[in-house]
Amino acid sequence: MSLSLINALVVLFILLIMMPLIISRKAENNSKSLNEWDNIKEYGKKINDKARNKKNL
């Protein structure tokens, strides 16, 4: 196999496998730091922001 093909496979592995794992780990750590009521509050805020954005468009 050529070196460029091997490099492309390594880059694809990093992008498709490793990046989602890193992002999900960060999100999990953030959710652990908030207690249950804070999670509910953040979810409600996110829903309200989406509704406001749809209304303004």
Kindly state the tokens that stand for 19. 């990046």
34 Cβ contact partners less than 8 Å away, ≥ 6 residues apart = 42
Kindly state the tokens that stand for 40. 């509910």
pLDDT, tens only, 1-50: 799 999 999 999 989 998 899 999 888 877 776 678 888 898 999 999 98
Residue 40, amino acid: I
CB-CB contact of 36 with 44 (8 Å):
no
Name the band, by pLDDT with cuts 50, 70 and 90, for residue 57: low
What domain range includes position 37?
Answer: 3-56
Number of compact structural domains in the chain: 1
User: What pLDDT score does 46 carry?
Assistant: 93
39 Cβ contact partners less than 8 Å away, ≥ 6 residues apart = 31
pTM over 0.85: no
